[in-house]
Structure 1
Amino acid sequence: MAHFDDIYEIAADGHGIITAAQARESGVTTGEMTRWCNDGRLIRRGHGVYKLSRWVPTPYDSFAEAVALAGDGAYLWGDAVLSMHGLALVDPAAVTVATPRRVRRRLPAWVRLVPAPKGCSPTFYEGIPSQSVADALRACNGSVMPERLLEATDEARSKGLVTEKEHRALKEELA
C-alpha cells in the first residue's frame, strides 16, 4: 500500500496522471502497475501513461494527459496554450502538443502533434510544460482572428501571463 501512496502523491501533482517512468523512479514495478490497473485504482490511458481512477477532474487534466501521452520533452503549443488560459475564445478540437522528436506511439484523435522548433524552451503553467503565452499568441497569428488575439493580449497582461514589454511588442506585431 505504501507504494500506491507514493504513486498517488506523484499523480496528484500531475493532475491525476502518472507515467511508467515516474513510477519506476519511485520504486514501483511494472507488475504493481498492472495489478493496480486490474484492481481499478489506475486506468491505462496510453503507452506508459496512467490516470488515477479516483480523481476529481480539473480544467487542466486533458492538457496534462496530452503532454504525457506525447512523451518526454513534449509541451503544449499554440492554441492549446490559449485554450488552457481561456484566451482568444479558442476551443480546439485537438490539444496541440509540440515534441522535439518523432513519436511513433498511437495517440488519441484529440491529441495533435507538431514538431518543436529548435531553441524553443518551454515554461510551466499549472505544472504542465507549455510554450509561453506570448509565443503562443504569436504562433496563432493567422489562424485566430486578429481582434481576438489583441483582446487576448490585453487579458493575458491583466492576468500577469505576459510582461509589460511583451505586451507592447505583441500589440505592435498583432495590429
Structure 2
Amino acid sequence: MSMKSLAETHRRALRGLSLDQYGYVTPTNAEALGVPAIELRKIAQRGGLVHVAYGLYRFADIPITEFDTFMEAVLRCGPDAHLTRDAVLALHGLALVNPRRIRVGSPHRVRRTLPDSIEVIREQVAPDDLTSYEGIASTTVRRALLDCRDIVMIDRLVEATEEAGRRGLVPRHQLTALLDEITTGRS
C-alpha cells in the first residue's frame, strides 16, 4: 500500500470514529485504531483536522450540534472523565439549569490547562452511577439530581425528577425514593 493510500486509510478510520464523538478524535482513539499519533498532527497540518487543544482534534466539516461542548469538555479531561452534576441536567434540558461552567468529574487529577468554561471535580463514582448519554460519558441522571441538591433549587430538582421519570431517564420504580432523597437531603 502506498504512503498516500495508507494516510487516506488512517484519515477514513479516524473520521469514522469521530462521527460517534461529534467530530472529535484523540491520540488514544488513534492508537486504538492502529493509527500512529503522529498521523493526527500530519492530517491537521494538511488541513484535514483542527487542533482544538492538547491531545484533541476535530474534523471541521462535521456539523456542530448542541452536544459538542459537552463532548469536548469530557475529552479535554481525559479517558476516565465524565459529565457530572448540573452539566448532566443541562445535557438533558432538566431543572432549567444553564451552567456557566461545564462540570466534568474525574477520578484523577487533571493537569491539562483548561478553558474557564470547564470545571473539573475530582470524584470517585460507583460504576452503577456512570453511563453514557448521546455518546458522552456521564453520571446517571439520578446521581446528577442527588449531587445538585446544594446548587439547584429543590423545587426545580423535584420538577426535573418528575420530568426525568416521564422521559425514562430515571426508572419509574426509583422515583418515589429519589424524590424523598432530594426533598429530605438524606442519601
Shorter-normalised TM-score: what interval?
over 0.9
Larger gyration radius, structure 1 or structure 2: 2
Count of aligned pairs = 175
1:122 to 110, 122, 130: 130
Which sections of structure 2, spanning at least 5 residues, go unmatched? 1-7
Report how far residue 165 of structure 1 moved.
2.3
Check the 8 A contact 1:40/1:53 in 2, yes or no. no
Pairwise CA RMSD of aligned residues? 1.3
Aligned counterparts, 1:1-175, within 5 A: 1-117=8-124, 119-120=126-127, 121-175=129-183
Which sections of structure 1, spanning at least 5 residues, go unmatched? none
SS in 2 for 1:114: strand
Report how far residue 33 of structure 1 moved.
1.3
- Percent sequence identity is 37
TM-score (norm 1): 0.95
Deviates more, 1:109-118 or 1:153-162: 109-118
Whichever residue aligns with residue 15 of structure 2, its letter is Y
TM-score (norm 2): 0.89
Report how far residue 118 of structure 1 moved.
5.1
What CA distance in whole angstroms lies between the structure 1 residues aligned with 2:46 and 2:125? 43
What CA distance in whole angstroms lies between the structure 1 residues aligned with 2:134 and 2:147? 21
Runs of 4+ aligned residues of structure 1 deviating over 4 Å after TM superposition are: none
SS in 2 for 1:162: coil
